[in-house]
Amino acid sequence: MAAPRFVDQLNVQVGNELSAHNQYLACAVYYDALTMPQMAAFFYAQALEERAHASMMIQYLLDTDNAVTIPAIEAPVNEFADVVAPVELALAQEKRVTDQINGLLRIAREEFDFASEQFMQWFIKEQVEEVATMSDLLAVVKRNLDDVEDIEEYVAREQGGEGTDPTAPRQAGA
pLDDT at residue number 164: 81
CA distance 59 to 164: 18
Please compute the mean of the pLDDT values over residues 140-160 and round it to a whole number: 93
Confidence class of residue 161 from pLDDT cuts 50, 70 and 90? low
Helix boundaries (H) for the chain: 4-33, 37-63, 85-110, 114-143, 148-158
pLDDT at residue number 123: 98
pLDDT at residue number 62: 98
Per residue in 54-100, pLDDT (tens digit) is: 999 999 999 999 999 999 999 999 999 999 999 999 999 999 999 99
CA distances from 160 to 41, 91, 163 (A): 9, 18, 8
Would you report the helix, strand and coil content of the chain in percent, each value rounded to 5?
A: 70, 0, 30
